[in-house]
Amino acid sequence: MAQKAAKVLAVRNGAVLRRTHLISAALHFNFWMLHFVFQRPRSLKPYFFLAMPTLAIQYYLDRMGRPTYNEDGSLRSAGEDLNATGLTEYMWDVLYWTQGCMVAACLFNDRAWWLWAVIPIYSVYAAYTTVMGVKKGFSGMGGGDAGQEADAPKSKTQLKKEKRGSSVKYR
């Protein structure tokens, strides 16, 4: 029962990585089959420029999340959590979106690679909302709006005292 959470994480990471590698291999194989066997006219420049970097992402996720075992079969390290938020989540989004673009390029034509332009646009949006959230968070730390105290919601006790006519001192 020792290290149950680590063992569960190791099994989950192994399953996620296995599934991801199989899907990716099938998509790349399908793309190459359509290109060479069926002689569908498609350029390989967008493929190498847009799909190949996802192999680097897959390699990084594999190195980061792959569980390692001792020689006797016991778990040495479960790997990092592949469901973590932040950069790991963004890498999964890029990977899945690229796989979707690859399916669209296989079904339609090379113009489907233009769907990949959503990734940089989303990156700019995510960075903007993060910066604005941090800026809003820092505004209430003393140097921000001095007029926020007047707009602050009043408690029931404060409202009752004001209704009775008692003088209420706000700090």
Quick: pLDDT tens for 95-117: 999 999 899 888 888 888 888 88
Beta strand spans in 10-128 (E): 68-69, 75-77
Percent of the chain whose pLDDT exceeds 70: 86
CA distance 73 to 103: 39
Burial of 136 (0-12, 13-18, 19+ CB in 10 A): exposed
* pLDDT for residue 150 is more than 50: yes
Number of Cβ atoms within 10 Å of the Cβ of 161: 14
pLDDT for residue 41: 66
Nearest to 51 by CA among 115, 98, 110, 106: 98
Residue whose structure tokens are 């940089």: 120
CA distance 25 to 31: 10
Average pLDDT, the chain: 83
What residue segments make up the domains of the chain, in order of their start? 4-123
